[in-house]
Structure 1
Amino acid sequence: MADSATLEARPVHHAPGVKRAESDRRRRWAVVVVCAVLAAASLAALVLVGLPDTVGSKAWSYSLDRLSRHAVAIVLVSVAVGVSTVLFQTVTGNRILTPALMGFDSLYLLIQTMLVFFMVPRDAAIAGGLTSGGLSGFLSQTAIMVIASTSLYLWLLGGRKTDIHLLLLVGVVFGVFFRSISSFFQRLLDPAAYLQVQDAMFASFRGVQVDVLIACGAIVLAGLVVVAILGRRLDVMLLGRDPAVALGVNHRQVTIVVLVVVSFLVSASTALIGPVMFFGLIVANAAYALLGTTLHRFTLPVACLLGVIALAGGEMVLASLGVESALSIIIEFVGGLLFLFLLLTNRAR
């Protein structure tokens, strides 16, 4: 029998599974760090490329202020869309579904159409304030979308049974319904009013005001606080309803809280820049592919950082090419192709 000195001298060998888990953890944190560096570099490049050569002039100060607001808006939208998409896919258990399927984009477009149709003939100043992206317009549009979505959640999930599939079906039906109404009233608008509505159909970071950014930042920060409070319970939700309940997680309560947070985040980002239907699908699935895991402490920051890289880098490239307001169209095109790929390859889970 070996003595104690011999046992202490022997090297301790870790199990292969432990070494692999530690290696995966380090690789995932390395991905987070690399994405953070690239996101910061993309934002810095976006601001620096757009600045004029004359430092300290009025044009330079104006450009710096405008580009700084542009960069902050990109960060807020990326965080709101990335977090809301990952959380929505967590409670639905499906990587193809996004909050856009609940009809947020259609409701936003309906609000814009109704404001122009009913208020422009009576008070063009009020209608212009509500649709131009000011604080009053942002708060009113966000409030309407949050009230509508929360009412839908409480109506369908207020019983004892949480039926996510019914919620998704009703959301799709409402989205088609809202879009049909919008299309009908758009046909009744005069050309000038229709152009005003058409501007709201595509996402744009132009002319974002400071007070709107502050309000949107407060909503996003509040959502992140709730997500931090939920913590590891979100990872348990990935196991499904029955395993989560067996592990002591109130599945129905967490689902409702997550859906309410998602409604606030999506409503705020949509009211800030307009609809971006497939953007969340792109960044969420890219985060899953890079990390090889669905743990929220990795997927949430990486999805947000990839959103910043995509938006800031895309805006910078298009600005250098002299093309404006085309980024949202490219995102929808790429996101549509990704949606079809995931659907045809059966990679929903």
Structure 2
Amino acid sequence: MTPSDVTEKSGQIRNARSRPILRLAVIWGLAALCILLFLSLNMKAGWEFTLMFRGKKLLTLLLVAYTVGIASVLFQTITHNRILTPSIMGFDALYVLLQSGLIFLFGGITYTQLSPYIKWTGETLIMVGALCLLYQWLFRLKGQNLHLLVLVGVILGTLFRSLSSLIQRMLDPSEFTLFQDAIFASFNSVDGYLLTLSLMVVVISSLLLFRYHSLFDVLMLGKDNAINLGVPYQRSVLATLALIAVLTALSTTLVGPVLFLGLLVANLSYTLAGSAQHKYLFPMVAGIGVVCLVGGETILQHVLQFESRLSIIIDFVGGLFFLALILRKQLK
């Protein structure tokens, strides 16, 4: 190999490494544009008032985009399936069951008077604790079978939805209206202190994510390859699942369930990242999530001036995308 060939080869490697960075720069440039438009469009007051009024909502959108996207990528990494998301494990169904159960037990008036801090803490602990117990049982007592975990998650999700449907039939019309309002994701009525607490948890989680991003690259290779490379597979998967539970519980208890957002942004990140390494996938899925949520909210509220909730539109588009993925796999 001549020196010119070596120079050309090194240039190709350098270009290949720069492509994911360029793609990230484009996506985050688009995300920054969406943020700027969200803050500036139809601004009828000064920047100080606008930031105070729209800033909390923007932080909520950023938090949900990040947590849902990262949790979905992590879950698909350890399950090796790009159709599965944490919602398939019954997370959203458990949240809906909790809301219907609280309204049924305490009544609509008492439900509206519950402390948001106690409610948020209780819901987060229940959701994280339930899944950690499930993981503990399946991985330690059932031979670490990840496919069994997914199957049990599907069954539990169906059970939670059936119980919630039964409770809904026993609610009076006013309580049922309150329940419907509680199960649709809302980015407008988030408590500032809960948002700050959630952001602190996300920052700590992010430090762990980006420190061990190479571990997730190895887990993506499969159980046998990961063990052969010296990775403690069971402990790593359990820790990853616990992290997924925390991230998903944070977003769900803060704003409500957004069923297909994770599926949508995770699959778009695989296509647009230009690399399978998690050090590129994590910022890519977060950027795409910001574009979808902040850009969608900007178009919906400040351009079209619709009063509809963004989560309904995302679930509609994500549902179509989910069907397209299933049909695509069946045609292969």
Cross-structure match for 1:109: 96
Distance 2:308 2:197 in 1: 24
Cross-structure match for 2:312: 329
Cross-structure match for 2:185: 203
Q: How many residues align?
A: 331
Q: After TM superposition, what 4+ stretches of structure 1 lie above 4 angstroms from structure 2?
A: 15-19
Aligned-residue offset at 1:99: 0.5
Cross-structure match for 1:4: none
Cα distance change of structure 1 residues 50 and 248 upon mapping to structure 2, 3 Å threshold: farther
Aligned-residue offset at 1:129: 4.2
**Which of 22, 25, 35 is equivalent to 1:43?**
35
> Is structure 2 residue 332 aligned with structure 1 residue 345?
no
Q: How does 1:59-98 map to 2 (within 5 A)?
A: 61=49, 63-98=50-85
One-letter amino acid of the structure 1 residue matched with residue 68 of structure 2: V
Give unmatched runs, 5+ long, in structure 2. Answer: none
Query: Which of these two proteins has the greater Rg computed from alpha carbons?
Result: 1
Distance 1:159 1:14 in 2: 54
One-letter amino acid of the structure 1 residue matched with residue 27 of structure 2: C
One-letter amino acid of the structure 1 residue matched with residue 136 of structure 2: L
Distance 1:17 1:286 in 2: 30
Percent identity of the aligned residues?
38
Contact (CA 8 Å) 1:42, 1:312: kept in 2 or not? yes
Aligned-residue offset at 1:347: 9.0
One-letter amino acid of the structure 2 residue matched with residue 64 of structure 1: L
> Is structure 2 residue 185 aligned with structure 1 residue 193?
no
Q: What is the RMSD of the two structures over their aligned residues, measured on CA atoms?
A: 2.2
Contact (CA 8 Å) 1:50, 1:67: kept in 2 or not? no
Aligned-residue offset at 1:208: 1.2
Q: Give the structure-2-normalised TM-score.
A: 0.93
Cα distance change of structure 1 residues 348 and 140 upon mapping to structure 2, 3 Å threshold: farther
Q: How does 1:6-45 map to 2 (within 5 A)?
A: 11-14=3-6, 19-45=11-37
Contact (CA 8 Å) 1:129, 1:136: kept in 2 or not? no
Aligned-residue offset at 1:112: 0.6
Distance 1:92 1:14 in 2: 39
Q: How does 1:116-131 map to 2 (within 5 A)?
A: 116-120=103-107, 124-125=109-110, 127-130=111-114
> Is structure 2 residue 282 aligned with structure 1 residue 300?
yes
Cross-structure match for 1:316: 298
Contact (CA 8 Å) 2:23, 2:274: kept in 1 or not? no
Aligned-residue offset at 1:225: 2.3
Cα distance change of structure 1 residues 50 and 188 upon mapping to structure 2, 3 Å threshold: farther
Cα distance change of structure 1 residues 19 and 339 upon mapping to structure 2, 3 Å threshold: farther
Which one has a larger percent helix, Structure 1 or Structure 2? 2
Q: Give the structure-1-normalised TM-score.
A: 0.89
Cα distance change of structure 1 residues 129 and 151 upon mapping to structure 2, 3 Å threshold: farther
Cα distance change of structure 1 residues 348 and 175 upon mapping to structure 2, 3 Å threshold: farther
Contact (CA 8 Å) 2:99, 2:183: kept in 1 or not? no
Cross-structure match for 2:253: 271
Q: Secondary structure at the match of 1:277?
A: coil
Aligned-residue offset at 1:313: 0.7
Cα distance change of structure 1 residues 16 and 90 upon mapping to structure 2, 3 Å threshold: farther
Contact (CA 8 Å) 1:95, 1:348: kept in 2 or not? no
Contact (CA 8 Å) 1:45, 1:316: kept in 2 or not? yes
Distance 2:294 2:305 in 1: 15
Contact (CA 8 Å) 1:88, 1:99: kept in 2 or not? yes
Distance 1:336 1:20 in 2: 40
Q: Secondary structure at the match of 2:5?
A: coil
Once the two structures are superposed, what CA deviation does each residue of 1:7-40 show, in whole Å capped at 9, x if it has no partner?
9xx7442387654443222111011111122112
Aligned-residue offset at 1:217: 0.8
Give unmatched runs, 5+ long, in structure 1. Answer: 1-6
Q: How does 1:240-279 map to 2 (within 5 A)?
A: 240-279=222-261
Aligned-residue offset at 1:139: 1.6
Distance 2:214 2:297 in 1: 35
Distance 2:207 2:171 in 1: 43
Q: Secondary structure at the match of 1:283?
A: helix
Cross-structure match for 1:223: 205
Contact (CA 8 Å) 1:87, 1:258: kept in 2 or not? yes
